[in-house]
Amino acid sequence: MTGKLKVTVLYDLEEEEPAGVQEEAPPPPRRKGQKKRKKKPVKHDREEIFEALEKLGHEPSYYVLNGRQQSLLGLARCGADLIFNLTEAYAGDDTREMHVTAYLDLLDIPYTGAGPHAHILAQDKSIAKKMFAFYGIQSPYFATAWRGTIDHAHDIAFPLIVKPTSEDGSIGIDATAVVTTVKDLMERIAYIQTEFDSPALIEEYIEGREIYASILGNYENARALPLVELDLSKLPKGVPRIASQDVKFEKDTDAYRLTKSAIAEDLDEETAAKLAEIAIKAYRAVKLRDYGRIDMRVSPKGEIYVIEANPNPWLSSGQEFAIAARKSGLSYNQMVGEIVDLAMARHA
């Protein structure tokens, strides 16, 4: 393991929020007569990572970028040996996530996870899909539409799913994203363009199991952790079996309650091995580093399609990456420690 390091856990907030070095605010004091909260509040991934870093013997701190110049200037002087990079946007703009890493590169401060080149290749799904095609990695046939310009290489057939090219967290993906008629397709394209000011990615819809491969490592040492499946089979009839925003985040919905990510137990060995191999290829194709997650679908015929590659996936202990790491025998702290070691080794 790497010796004791000053590790700055970096994350972003919107402009009106405080920037710079942060001590997490304590929870608000209990008001008179207010009952003790029964449920433990869910910990933020950054808190889990901070605690893991402490237990690993490092010296963690927090730093917030809020989109103002002061917070950028302060970051340059933060004195970290390593940034644990949890930024997902800059000033609320997630297309500028890549600029934060480019800035860290210019400052010569080591950081965990993807660099700017990986963000460019992976964030715009249409670019990632073009990379996949070059490496012979199967992903659903697609076209993009942006204000009257259509970009396509193949004919595409219904059913289709229409989504923003560069969003994350299932933004813009709900039950009406899957279309089977030209009218619904056109309406959905218009919706994506106006609502998100983004080109629409129109992709063949792949019915099948949803499998996530978490990858840890770099270059020839990148390895796939045990596969995780998001079981969508219990969604009510007539609802498309997709990981919509409700499924992912809306705890009060049936969609959330009826779906669950768990280790994919009953995949045959050959399919599991193929999934892992394809995921590592996809990870390399879009130049992910240290850790990443490749989302795939397996059709009823056993064909494997890569849906997307995620640089710096969510590391919360309840999420797919940590589930996979745990199954592979790594504790949460060991998982965090390995990401730190991988990032430091790249800078050695």
Ligand X SMILES: Nc1ncnc2c1ncn2[C@@H]1O[C@H](COP(=O)(O)OP(=O)(O)O)[C@@H](O)[C@H]1O
Residue numbers at the binding site for ligand X (CB under 6 A): 140, 161, 163, 167-171, 173, 203, 205-206, 210, 242-243, 295, 297, 307-308
Which CB sits closer to ligand X, 100 or 179? 179
Phi, psi angles (nearest 5°) of residue 45: -60, -35
Minimum CB distance to Mg ion, residue 112 (Å): 20
User: Nearest residue to Mg ion, using CB?
Assistant: 295
C-alpha span between 99 and 221 (Å, rounded): 27
Contact call for residues 326 and 316 (beta carbons, < 8 A)? no
- Which contiguous run of DSSP H or E holds residue 149? strand 149-152
Do the beta carbons of residue 242 and residue 161 sit within 8 Å?
yes
Min CB(235)–ligand X separation in Å: 11
Complete edge-to-edge strand list for the sheet that includes strand 20-22: 20-22, 59-65, 6-12, 82-85
Of 98 and 109, the one with the shorter C-beta distance to Mg ion is: 98
- Contacted by 287, from Mg ion, ligand X, none: CB < 5 to 8 Å by type: none
Q: Return the C-alpha torsion angle 27, 29, 34, 37, nearest 10.
A: 20
Sheet holding 142-146, edge to edge: 149-152, 142-146, 200-204, 160-164, 178-179
Contact 161, 178 (CB under 8 A): yes
Identify which of residues 103 and 146 has a Cβ nearer to ligand X in the complex: 146
Q: Which does 210 bind (CB under 5 to 8 A by kind): ligand X, Mg ion, none?
A: ligand X
Q: How far is the CB of 160 from Mg ion (least distance, A)?
A: 17
131's contact among ligand X, Mg ion, none, with CB below 5 to 8 A by partner kind, is: none
Query: Between residues 66 and 261, which has the closer beta carbon with respect to ligand X?
Result: 261
| Residue number, 100 or 161, with CB nearest to ligand X | 161
The nearer residue to ligand X, 81 or 124, going by C-beta atoms, is: 124
How far apart CA 269 and CA 250 sit, in angstroms, is 34
Q: How far is the CB of 201 from ligand X (least distance, A)?
A: 8
CB of 295 to Mg ion, least distance (A): 4
Please pick, from the candidates 203, 246, 295, 320, the single residue that binds Mg ion as defined by CB under 5 A. 295
Question: Tokens 């994919």 belong to which residue?
Answer: 264
Min CB(76)–Mg ion separation in Å = 33
Residues that bind Mg ion (CB under 5 A): 295, 308
